[in-house]
Amino acid sequence: MNGHVLIIIECLIIQPMVYTTLFFDLDDTLYAPTTMLWEAIRSRMGTYMVERLNIPAEQVDDLRRHYLENFGTTLRGLQHFYPVDTEEYLHFVHNLPLAEYIQPDARLRPLILSLPQKRWIFTNADEAHARRVLQVLNLENCFMGIIDVRAMGFANKPQPEAYLKALQIAQVDDPEQCILLDDALRNLAPASKLGFTTILVNPNPADADSNGFKPHYAIPDLFALPSILPDLWEEIDH
């Protein structure tokens, strides 16, 4: 080679991640938290605790905060310490005139349907509430199914077993092929540890209860999704 050394440089081509499955939280994710629907549900939880379980009203806020931090949901905490009728509780707290709080956004249905991935609702609420919300938002038939608190065996986000159950139901072997979109950082952190890509959907990320965790992406609403991950709309093989 005329005294010259031929150096061959191999270029490593990094392929972009191919996502096959998207998990969407329900309340305060598919609609804006400014609707105050979730606040109304929280209020119904407090009323249930006072009227059905005889918990003093002045203790309700502290108890709910304690249950949320230690059990993930108010229901899960109550189940540990009180004789809760689960079906009665779920019906009571979600028994609200949804159309007075949330309305469909004509942009959302075509956005979700345009995503080529498999799409699931992944919620700590029950299926009946989820279906009512989807109906009011005109998002029926946009998802493969609803992974609710019953489907999770009454585990719930952020408990690790809830995510493992969701993967099992969605028939996904590799969490790295999944995205979780949620309005609460505490629900995204365990998913990130498992390998999910995490997207915080919250117009006020400072209020999302972080404990130092940072998601992969943060957007104010679902309409910003194309701006952060335009590759989602490329064709994939299911």
Please report, for the chain, the start and end positions of each structural domain, with discontinuous segments joined by +.
Answer: 21-36+105-233, 39-94
pTM confidence score: 0.87
Query: In this predicted structure, what is the pLDDT of residue 18?
Result: 87
Contact criterion met (CB below 8 Å) for 84 and 75: yes
pLDDT category at 8 given cuts 50, 70, 90 is: very low
Per-residue 3-state assignment (H helix, E strand, C coil) for 163-193: HHHHHHHCCCCCHHHEEEEECCHHHHHHHHH
Least confident residue range of 23-32, 60-69, 173-182? 60-69
Find out if CATH 1.10.150.450 is the number for domain 39-94.
yes
Task: Look up the CATH architecture of domain 21-36+105-233.
Answer: 3-Layer(aba) Sandwich (3.40)
According to DSSP, the β-strands at 21-24 and 118-122 are: parallel
Section 73-78 average pLDDT:
88
For 122, what's the count of Cα atoms within 13 Å in the CB-facing half-sphere? 30
Query: In this predicted structure, what is the pLDDT of residue 146?
Result: 98
| 21-36+105-233 against 39-94: fold identical | no
Section 45-71 average pLDDT:
92
Phi/psi for 171 (5° steps) reads 55, 50
Element (H, E) at 160: helix 160-169
Element (H, E) at 80: helix 74-81
Query: In this predicted structure, what is the pLDDT of residue 44?
Result: 95
Query: In this predicted structure, what is the pLDDT of residue 141?
Result: 96
Q: Tell me 103's DSSP state.
A: -
Question: Within 10 Å of residue 118's Cβ, how many Cβ atoms?
Answer: 20
How far is it, in rounded angstroms, from Cα 221 to Cα 225?
Answer: 8
